[in-house]
């Protein structure tokens, strides 16, 4: 069994070609072999997984199985899972066991998936390279000296290397789409509010959204049918019916329109990426879609805007980590002040502290109007510009990232360079629209991601475009070289 998709595995399970227990054992064996090199998992839930797999096999035998019954899956370690560690990539939560499941976790469990483990990530999802994790960087299976992207880098590396057929992720500024692009897989970020944030450790609450890392858009559709939907425990969750995404994938693209923002092809774009993106647009033309140019004149402001809004929200969200109720606590403080200070000093890493300080500053009385309020206005401007595009086109397309995967260590000491890596993904979060990254070729030996952006609740349209493209091309079937068990680069 090579690197099969969720839909292929589902067919195999139903026809009795293999059992969920066999699949799960295989996934666990692959994790054990590859994790010393990739560092994609923080926790592996072997025993629990086998118990769940046997239950899935009984369900399959009884004929009551759904499309996800018995499929091994990994959750980004930002989703609370009752009874297992949820670290969020931080020392602060390195010992934290949640008393409840996130809605995403319980919904997928109800659909029958087998949880094999929790994946590594940038600390509190702050990062674009996975290097801010307290548990060490994840390595890109295409080249272990390179970053798999972040913050959902563990999930991306695990799917790309065939350790699991699918994983969850979260995307606040690009953390699903960018790692998907860097590892040659499909990363889907739904509309803000489409998937419940309940039990998802909060980073920037007006931007955070859960989504999927899979091999194909078809698999993203299958997972989304289980994950999406209204949740009374998340006040921003959308009270809208979930369409049968997997049944809407085959619609013809004839006569549909794709807008390509001129600003996505600036000097910063790697020529190899540009070539792959232009070729992908030609494939859409062959499928009958019309390609036109659109404008996002304030795109360049999306990075500075995001790096005011996101830190502001994070400084508020992360104030709960005080060493009192849960998580890390400095062991021998003399008074309450020292307990708070030392706990936060020792529990958080450098990037998280940088964000908390920036956020506190831009929200402070003297600077609120100059920074935070101004950023909110620009956010509105960027959102309006993107919405204006959808008056003329069905979707917007362009690169996911300016370059293919960069080297570990290359940008970690230069936050601005690191932040600029998100230039093409952030506007989508500021606007709250859905976006998907699909593999569309290579720059040298490294995968390139094509980003498709849709209007609010345009999930079905995006998945339809992505699926038609994947039926026409085989980039999503390209696999990285086998990862050896030698702890490369450690």
Please answer whether residues 405 and 148 qualify as being in contact, where contact means their C-beta atoms are separated by less than 8 angstroms: yes
By beta-carbon proximity to ligand GLN, the closer residue of 43 and 172 is 172
CA distances 331 to 96, 295, 335, 459, 461, Å, are 16, 55, 11, 48, 53
Nearer to ligand GLN, 68 or 125 (CB): 125
Contact string (CB under 6 A) for ligand GLN, positions 408-427, x = contact: --------------x-----
In angstroms, what is the minimal distance from the CB of 193 to ligand GLN?
16
Q: List phi, psi (to 5°) of 261.
A: -70, 125
Is residue 151 annotated as part of the catalytic site, yes or no? Answer: yes
According to DSSP, the β-strands at 257-261 and 290-294 are: parallel
Residue 35 binds to ligand GLN (criterion: CB under 6 A):
no
Rank residues 97 and 363 by Cβ distance to ligand GLN and give the closer one. Answer: 363
CB of 5 closer than 8 Å to CB of 219: yes
Determine if 175 is a binding residue for ligand GLN (CB under 6 A). Answer: yes
For the bound state, the minimum distance from the C-beta of residue 89 to ligand GLN, rounded and expressed in Å, comes to: 11
Nearest to 152 by CA among 161, 143, 71, 173: 173
DSSP secondary structure letter of residue 277 = H
CB 174 to ligand GLN: min, Å: 5
Q: Given candidates 106, 151, 212, 461, which one binds ligand GLN under the rule CB under 6 A?
A: 151
Could you tell me where the DSSP H helices lie in 184-292? Answer: 217-227, 271-286
Interface stretch with ligand GLN, choices 90-98, 126-134, 218-226, 336-344 (CB under 6 A): 126-134
By CB under 6 A, residue 125 contacts ligand GLN: yes
Question: Comparing C-alpha atoms, which of 473, 490, 428, 475 is closest to residue 178?
Answer: 428
Report 283-322 residues binding ligand GLN (CB under 6 A): 310
Choose the stretch contacting ligand GLN; rule: CB under 6 A; options: 170-178, 180-188, 237-245, 293-301: 170-178
Q: Which runs of consecutive H residues, i.e. helices, occur in 187-301?
A: 217-227, 271-286
Distance (Å) of CA 89 to CA 86, 120, 140, 145? 8, 6, 17, 20
Q: Which is nearer to ligand GLN, 46 or 415 (CB)?
A: 415
CB atoms < 10 A from the CB of 249, how many?
21
Closest CA to 304 of 371, 209, 395: 371
- Told to check if 172 binds ligand GLN by CB under 6 A, we report yes
- The region of 36-44, 106-114, 166-174, 235-243 touching ligand GLN under the rule CB under 6 A is 166-174
- Please say which residue, 65 or 167, places its beta carbon nearer to ligand GLN: 167
- Using the minimum distance from each CB to ligand GLN, give the nearer residue, 276 or 426: 426
Contact 438, 178 (CB under 8 A): no
**Shortest Å, Cβ 205 to ligand GLN:** 12
What residues between 432 and 471 interact with ligand GLN by CB under 6 A?
none
| CA 41 from centre of chain | 15
Choose between 78 and 159: whose C-beta lies nearer to ligand GLN. Answer: 78
What whole-number distance in Å separates Cα of residue 368 and Cα of residue 16?
61
Name residues whose C-beta falls within 8 Å of residue 393's C-beta, 6 or more positions apart in sequence: 257, 258, 259, 292, 294
Site string for ligand GLN, 197-216 (x = CB under 6 A): ------x-------------
To the query of whether residue 319 is one of the catalytic residues in this protein, the response is no
Q: How many beta carbons lie within 10 A of that of residue 442, not counting itself?
A: 18
The one catalytic residue among 19, 20, 27, 76: 76
- Residue 354 token pair: 């940088």
Segment contacting ligand GLN (CB under 6 A): 95-103, 109-117, 125-133, 325-333? 125-133
Query: How far is 156 from 426, CA to CA, in rounded Å?
Result: 19
- Reply yes or no on whether 76 is catalytic: yes
138 is a contact residue toward ligand GLN (CB under 6 A): no
Q: Closest approach of Cβ 150 to ligand GLN, in Å?
A: 6
Interaction site with ligand GLN (CB under 6 A): 125-128, 151, 170-175, 203, 310, 422
Q: Which residues are catalytic?
A: 76, 151, 175
């Amino acid at each position: 069994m090579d690197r099969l998709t969720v839909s292929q595995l589902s067919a195999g399970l139903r026809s009795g070609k293999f059992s969920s227990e066999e699949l799960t054992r295989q996934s666990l064996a692959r994790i054990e072999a590859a994790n010393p090199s990739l560092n994609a998992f923080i926790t592996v839930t072997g025993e629990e997984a086998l118990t769940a797999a046997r239950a899935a096999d009984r369900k399959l035998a009884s004929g009551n199985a759904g499309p996800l019954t018995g499929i091994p899956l990994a959750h980004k370690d930002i989703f609370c899972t009752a009874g297992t560690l949820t670290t969020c990539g931080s020392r602060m939560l390195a010992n934290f066991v949640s008393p409840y499941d996130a809605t995403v976790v319980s919904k997928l469990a109800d659909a029958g998936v087998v949880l094999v483990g929790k994946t590594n990530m940038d600390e509190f999802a702050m990062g674009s390279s996975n290097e801010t994790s307290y548990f060490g960087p994840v390595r890109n299976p295409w080249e272990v000296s390179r970053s798999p992207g972040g913050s959902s880098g563990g999930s991306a590396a695990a799917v790309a290397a065939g350790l699991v057929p699918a994983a969850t992720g979260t995307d606040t500024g690009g953390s699903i789409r960018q790692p998907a692009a860097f590892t040659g897989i499909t990363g889907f970020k739904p509309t803000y509010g489409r998937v419940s944030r309940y039990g998802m450790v909060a980073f920037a609450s007006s931007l955070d959204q859960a989504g999927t890392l899979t091999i194909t858009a078809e698999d993203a559709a299958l997972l989304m049918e289980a994950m999406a939907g209204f949740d009374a425990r998340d006040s921003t969750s959308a009270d809208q019916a979930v369409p049968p995404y997997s049944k809407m994938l085959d619609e013809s693209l004839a006569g549909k329109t794709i807008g390509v923002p001129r600003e996505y092809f600036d000097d910063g774009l790697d020529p190899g990426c540009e070539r792959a993106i232009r070729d992908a647009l030609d494939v859409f033309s062959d499928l009958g879609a019309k390609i036109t140019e659109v404008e996002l004149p304030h795109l360049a402001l999306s990075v500075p805007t995001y790096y005011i809004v996101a830190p502001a929200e994070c400084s508020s969200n992360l104030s709960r980590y005080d060493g009192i109720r849960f998580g890390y606590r400095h062991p021998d403080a003399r008074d309450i002040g020292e307990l708070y200070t030392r706990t936060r000093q020792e529990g958080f890493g450098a990037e998280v502290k940088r964000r908390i300080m920036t956020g506190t500053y831009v929200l402070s009385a003297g600077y609120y109007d100059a920074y935070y309020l101004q950023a909110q206005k620009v956010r509105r401007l960027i959102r309006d510009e993107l919405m204006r595009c959808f008056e003329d086109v069905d979707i917007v397309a362009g690169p996911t990232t300016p370059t293919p995967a960069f080297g570990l260590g290359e940008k970690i000491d230069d936050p601005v360079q690191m932040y600029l890596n998100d230039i093409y993904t952030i506007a989508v979060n500021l606007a709250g629209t859905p976006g998907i990254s699909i593999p569309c070729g290579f720059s040298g030996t490294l995968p390139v991601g094509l980003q498709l952006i849709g209007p609010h609740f345009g999930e079905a349209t995006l998945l339809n475009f992505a699926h038609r493209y994947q039926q026409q091309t085989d980039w999503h079937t390209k696999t990285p070289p086998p990862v050896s068990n030698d702890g490369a680069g450690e």
